[in-house]
């Protein structure tokens, strides 16, 4: 069984509400995953020092753009948006609730902010932190990202400590974990998978702000809707016999449901027992899923 974590949205709400812990657990039951299979639901991410405003973000309205166009030579806008939200969260004066992504702010230069100029975060990152925090669209988005980043970081640390020797980041965008966790990952293989343009842009950008990539990091460009992910992973050195921690953060809402299922089947077929998948699952009306079937897709 691959352990899975779902960050979902309300199926009847187009823009989505991040579910509270109660609903998350209900979903786990609907998915026929046992509590032991289910990584801690997001509403139960009891991070030390978390203040109420961060917990509130879980149940608050959270609107986001469901279009993730891959334009020629341009990175995905949504990958910049979520990195911008992490950048904002990394400025929180309270270290207990600060987003730990220390590279996100450095990655958000004028060019990136221009690419998301229609979003309040673009201006917010140029404003004083306290002033920008008055805008709920900014603070709720940043709070959601703090939960997501820390939830995944914590689950990933546990997985590596329990013997996962491979980290695969699917639809990596501006994910900086390969740099942030250099020490933890020193005996691991890390594979970042993303659409070509976004990956090339991110790679150039992160090398310019954080230096050369760690030697154990490989970049693989894959279109989930068109390419053979399994083949690409194996060519990049993925080992089927070794435990893996897969991250699929904020991606499957942008790709066709058939490609989500195909990707899950690929992960299932490649994964050694004890591997973990953390993903955000968004049930837009066009992506309505039969949860029991979804769980069957995952179970080995």
Ligand X SMILES: C[S@@+](CC[C@H](N)C(=O)[O-])C[C@H]1O[C@@H](n2cnc3c(N)ncnc32)[C@H](O)[C@@H]1O
Contact residues for ligand X (CB under 6 A)?
68, 76, 78-79, 82-83, 171-175, 194-195, 198, 222-225, 249-251, 254-255
Nearer to ligand X, 36 or 67 (CB): 67
Question: Shortest distance, CB of residue 212 to ligand X, whole angstroms?
Answer: 21
Residue 52 in contact with residue 100, Cβ under 8 Å?
no
Q: Which residue has the tokens 């709720």?
A: 140
Nearer to ligand X, 1 or 66 (CB): 66
Question: Shortest distance, CB of residue 291 to ligand X, whole angstroms?
Answer: 22
Residue 4 in contact with residue 39, Cβ under 8 Å?
yes
Of all residues in this chain, which one has the CB nearest to ligand X in the complex? Answer: 173
- Dihedral of CA atoms 54, 58, 64, 68 in degrees, nearest 10, equals 100
Nearer to ligand X, 132 or 172 (CB): 172
Question: Shortest distance, CB of residue 151 to ligand X, whole angstroms?
Answer: 12
Nearer to ligand X, 98 or 272 (CB): 98
Question: Shortest distance, CB of residue 282 to ligand X, whole angstroms?
Answer: 11
Q: Alpha-carbon distance 68 to 260, whole Å?
A: 15
Q: Which residue has the tokens 């980290």?
A: 167
CA angle 46, 59, 33 (to 5 degrees): 65
Q: What residues are paired with 190 via a beta bridge?
A: 167, 217
Question: Shortest distance, CB of residue 222 to ligand X, whole angstroms?
Answer: 6
Residue 284 in contact with residue 66, Cβ under 8 Å?
yes
Nearer to ligand X, 170 or 188 (CB): 170
Nearer to ligand X, 74 or 300 (CB): 74
Nearer to ligand X, 2 or 229 (CB): 229
Question: Shortest distance, CB of residue 176 to ligand X, whole angstroms?
Answer: 9
Distances (CA, A) of 137 to 5, 142, 173: 25, 9, 22
Question: Shortest distance, CB of residue 86 to ligand X, whole angstroms?
Answer: 7
Distances (CA, A) of 190 to 38, 120, 177, 222: 24, 33, 10, 15
Instruction: Locate 190 and state its tokens.
Output: 């890390």
Q: Which residue has the tokens 């899975």?
A: 4
Residue 111 in contact with residue 73, Cβ under 8 Å?
no
């Amino acid at each position: 069984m691959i352990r899975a974590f779902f960050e979902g949205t309300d199926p009847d709400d187009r823009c989505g509400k991040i579910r509270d812990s109660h609903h998350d657990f209900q979903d786990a039951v609907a998915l026929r995953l046992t509590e032991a299979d289910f990584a801690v639901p997001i509403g139960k991410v009891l991070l030390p020092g978390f203040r109420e405003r961060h917990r509130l973000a879980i149940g608050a309205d959270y609107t986001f753009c469901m279009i993730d166009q891959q334009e020629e030579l341009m990175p995905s806008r949504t990958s910049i948006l979520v990195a911008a939200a992490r950048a904002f969260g990394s400025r929180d004066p309270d270290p207990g609730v600060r987003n730990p992504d220390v590279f996100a702010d450095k990655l958000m230069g004028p060019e990136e902010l221009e690419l998301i100029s229609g979003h309040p975060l673009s201006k917010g990152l140029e404003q004083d932190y306290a002033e920008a925090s008055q805008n709920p669209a900014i603070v709720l988005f940043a709070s959601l990202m703090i939960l997501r980043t820390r939830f995944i970081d914590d689950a990933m640390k546990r997985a590596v400590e329990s013997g996962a020797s491979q980290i695969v980041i699917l639809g990596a965008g501006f994910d900086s974990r390969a740099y942030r966790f250099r020490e933890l990952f020193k005996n691991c293989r890390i594979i970042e998978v993303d659409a070509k343009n976004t990956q090339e842009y991110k790679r150039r950008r992160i090398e310019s702000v954080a230096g050369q990539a760690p030697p154990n990091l490989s970049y693989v460009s894959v279109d989930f809707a068109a390419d053979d992910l399994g083949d690409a992973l194996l060519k990049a050195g993925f080992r089927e016999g070794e435990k893996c921690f897969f991250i699929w953060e904020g991606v499957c809402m942008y790709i066709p449901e058939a490609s989500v299922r195909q990707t899950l089947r690929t992960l299932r077929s490649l994964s050694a027992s004890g591997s973990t998948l953390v993903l955000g699952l968004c049930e837009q009306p066009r992506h309505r899923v039969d949860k029991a079937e979804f769980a069957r897709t995952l179970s080995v």
